[in-house]
Copies of this chain bind each other. A is one copy, B any other.
């Protein structure tokens, strides 16, 4: 069943049918009705490939996800998927490994799928304009931005929280309670990722409080996953390093760290306070309930889609939204022992 068949069925030309199908105004009501009826009866569905071929574009929005293991992303993916559906677009999702190049993948997808736009969820923070050449559709970076790169801010969009600021706030909470020996659990400190950014916040908070950061108090996990976080936290605890509190760059890592500390006989928050960033639902159900700075997941997903569609549909220029994380008080921090 093609547009030709419908045309024949109605005794009109294909262009007339096409007009009806595309809601063009220049069709007589009578013909329009007749065509619509024929379409309904014959269960005709337009061939999207043919449409896309002609229009050289589709209704597809690409979602390129890097580091899917992060449970924080699962929530965002859900929200983004829902919003894209609701707007009548289609979500095409691709996951890429930690070492793959999201730009290259995005560029290929853009062409293959004739994407209208791309949302990058997780990625490098240091793109250069040259690298981005292959990407010609609007894109938004969700949960990260180009802090370390040289991109023209007017050429892309982003939705983030102030990561360094959030880390400062978190460490600030510990300082307020009187902690001075504050350890830090990160993934890396030089990978130009969210980990590095949050670590900068940690360092800054200490310096501003007149505390010299101590390299012996920084634990580095090989990745963001719980197993590695557990190992890194356990390593730090066993190292004999002296600390009364710990700032951890992600909830999932904090949950693992709390377990590691407990397994080594250090109770949180009695023997060591723990504060993190992310605000997973999950963290409210461990003991002690994790004190954490929540990323506004839903809003981040919603904003990302909204901005992208605004740009795609020509309603606005690219923009950068920075949302405020919110402190969710748990029971994992307390004044230092003694």
Interface residues of A (CB under 8 A from B): 43, 45-53, 58, 68-69, 71, 74, 77-78, 81-82, 85, 90-95, 107-108, 111-114, 134, 225-226, 230, 252, 255-256, 258-259, 262, 281-282, 284-287
Separation in Å of the A290 CB from the closest CB of chain B? 11
* A/B interface sample: 12 pairs, CB < 8 A: A45-B108, A47-B53, A47-B112, A49-B53, A69-B78, A71-B71, A71-B74, A90-B112, A90-B113, A91-B92, A91-B93, A282-B282
Asked if B281 and A259 sit within 8 Å, CB to CB, the answer is: no
Asked if A81 and B53 sit within 8 Å, CB to CB, the answer is: no
Main secondary structure of the interface of A (DSSP, over half): helix
Asked if B93 and A81 sit within 8 Å, CB to CB, the answer is: yes
Write the chain B residue with the least CB distance to A284: B226
Write the chain B residue with the least CB distance to A133: B43
Q: Which of A43, A45, A50, A94 has the most CB of B within 10 A?
A: A45
Asked if B114 and A49 sit within 8 Å, CB to CB, the answer is: yes
Residues in B with CB closer than 8 Å to A93 are 81, 91, 93
Partner of A226, one of B230, B258, B282: B282
Partner of A114, one of B48, B112, B114, B287: B48
Residues in B with CB closer than 8 Å to A255 are 282, 285-286
Residues in B with CB closer than 8 Å to A85 are 94-95
Write the chain B residue with the least CB distance to A225: B281
Closest 4 CB pairs of A and B: A49-B52, A74-B74, A45-B111, A49-B53
* Count of chain copies: 2
Partner of A49, one of B49, B92, B262, B286: B49
Residues in B with CB closer than 8 Å to A69 are 78
Residues in B with CB closer than 8 Å to A78 are 68-69, 95
A71 to B280, CA, bound (A): 11
Separation in Å of the A241 CB from the closest CB of chain B? 22
Partner of A46, one of B45, B112, B252: B112
Partner of A287, one of B52, B68, B94, B262: B262
Residues in B with CB closer than 8 Å to A52 are 49
Asked if B111 and A82 sit within 8 Å, CB to CB, the answer is: no
Residues in B with CB closer than 8 Å to A286 are 255, 259, 285-287
Residues in B with CB closer than 8 Å to A48 are 49, 112-114
Write the chain B residue with the least CB distance to A82: B95
Residues in B with CB closer than 8 Å to A111 are 45, 47
Asked if B230 and A259 sit within 8 Å, CB to CB, the answer is: no
A78 to B211, CA, bound (A): 42
Asked if A226 and B47 sit within 8 Å, CB to CB, the answer is: no
Asked if B81 and A285 sit within 8 Å, CB to CB, the answer is: no
Partner of A285, one of B47, B114, B226: B226
Separation in Å of the A279 CB from the closest CB of chain B? 14
A26 to B86, CA, bound (A): 47
Residues in B with CB closer than 8 Å to A262 are 287
Write the chain B residue with the least CB distance to A134: B43
A90 to B90, CA, bound (A): 12
